[in-house]
Amino acid sequence: MAIILSVASYFIYVMTASSVSCNEKVIIRIRKTWTLKQLSDSLVVKAGLKHPQLFMFFAEKAGCSSLNPCTIAVSPGDNLYRVIQELKTNRNQTVNLTIRGGMDARGLSRLFASRLEVDADSFLGLLKSSSALQVYGFNDTTWPALFIPNTYNLYAATETPELLKRMLKEHNKFWNIKRIQRSVVQRLTRKEVITLASIVTKESNKSDEYEKIAGVYINRLRKGMLLQADPTVVFARGKTGRVWAADLSIQSSYNTYLHPGLPPGPICIPNLQSIEAVLDYKQHDFLYFCAKADFSGYHDFATSLAAHNRNAAAFHRAMNDRGIK
């Protein structure tokens, strides 16, 4: 009897005494393929788990022999009971993912891989494939139109097929009858709305200008003028920075200084304000705009090329004065 009591006392002690040696909170991300042994090893390395074999024994007895993808937090002083309860509590963990306007393929892939059971390189390859997204109605040029900026709650165990189905559902929900009707009024398809909105997103970080900027581009489209949108040149060039005269001749279907109409697809995921701005663009007679020389982030708008050239000259002088390359 004494031996039994001693063993029981030992197990109680192990379960309730501090079982980690970390000095600060540690976050462990459990992946789909992990075994209990892999989790135990990770806890040893990252949190200084003192009794890995007992941890696996009690975790299995607690019904955690198979693991679900999730994250668990281990704090200084935690005992085995606390760690195992954290594991049980988070088995069906959900995470919030925020898709932001301006995201490109690489940024989106990294976002999904950081929280879900999605491989960043594989997802990036999917976005760059001409056929992988056809079942959803998109391809390697139109994929940004699938993803509507918002915050989404998903299971941490979500994999790529389930993720894409959810995104398509949210896309279809966003494009309700009212928005579709507004796109028809503008004589634009949904993908054209998103393409133009992506340019507006990259043109300015001042959302109160979006409707005005969208109006300029729609005026140019209606008149059969080249869009001459600098963000499309930056996209074609493949790197950020000041747009120079030589860049305007870059041979790319996205270069709207060379090719009429909209580019083949969005240059990024547009933000919601720019989408709404295209659907409700401000009607005016402006055909040109240029960043203000005061670097406020706002733009000077013009109805004539002569006035625009004066605005542009002032802005470029200001850039030269500041040594902006």
Segment 229-271, tens digit of pLDDT: 999 999 999 988 888 889 999 999 999 999 999 999 999 999 9
Cα 221 vs. chain centroid, distance in angstroms? 29
Provide the pLDDT for residue 240. Answer: 87
Nearest-10 crossing angle of helices 105-115, 120-127: 140
Contact 84, 55 (CB under 8 A): yes
Provide the pLDDT for residue 58. Answer: 92
Q: Which CATH class is domain 11-89?
A: alpha beta
Domain boundaries, the chain: 11-89, 94-174, 186-284
Helix H or strand E encompassing 288? strand 288-291
Provide the pLDDT for residue 131. Answer: 93
Q: What angle do CA 49, 53, 54 make, to 5 degrees?
A: 85
Whole-number Å distance between alpha carbons of 43 and 79 = 12
Residue 5: pLDDT above 50?
Answer: no
For the ranges 17-21, 195-199, 245-249, the maximum mean pLDDT occurs at 195-199
Q: Average pLDDT in the 85-107 region?
A: 94
- Retrieve residue 117's tokens: 């059971």
Helices and strands (H, E) in the chain, number of each type: 13, 6
Residue 14: pLDDT above 80?
Answer: no
User: Phi, psi at residue 96, to the nearest 5°?
Assistant: -100, 130
Residue 11: pLDDT above 70?
Answer: no
Provide the pLDDT for residue 1. Answer: 56
Q: What angle do CA 125, 126, 131 make, to 5 degrees?
A: 120
Provide the pLDDT for residue 54. Answer: 92
Q: What angle do CA 276, 282, 283 make, to 5 degrees?
A: 140
Residue 17: pLDDT above 90?
Answer: no
Q: What confidence tens digit (pLDDT) does each residue in 143-166 have?
A: 999 999 999 999 999 999 999 999
Residue 2: pLDDT above 60?
Answer: no
- Checking 37-40 for CB contacts under 8 A at 24+ apart, the result is 39/67, 39/87
Quick count: other Cβ atoms within 10 Å of Cβ 137? 14
Whole-number Å distance between alpha carbons of 226 and 232 = 12
Residue 200: pLDDT above 80?
Answer: yes
Identify the CA nearest to 147 among candidates 119, 166, 123, 134: 166
Provide the pLDDT for residue 12. Answer: 54
Residue 126: pLDDT above 90?
Answer: yes
Provide the pLDDT for residue 8. Answer: 47
Q: Which bin fits 242, alpha (ψ -120 to 50), beta or left (φ > 0)?
A: beta
Q: Average pLDDT in the 80-100 region?
A: 94
DSSP three-state, residue 26? strand
Provide the pLDDT for residue 324. Answer: 80
Residue 323: pLDDT above 90?
Answer: no
Provide the percentage of residues in the chain whose pLDDT is more than 70: 95
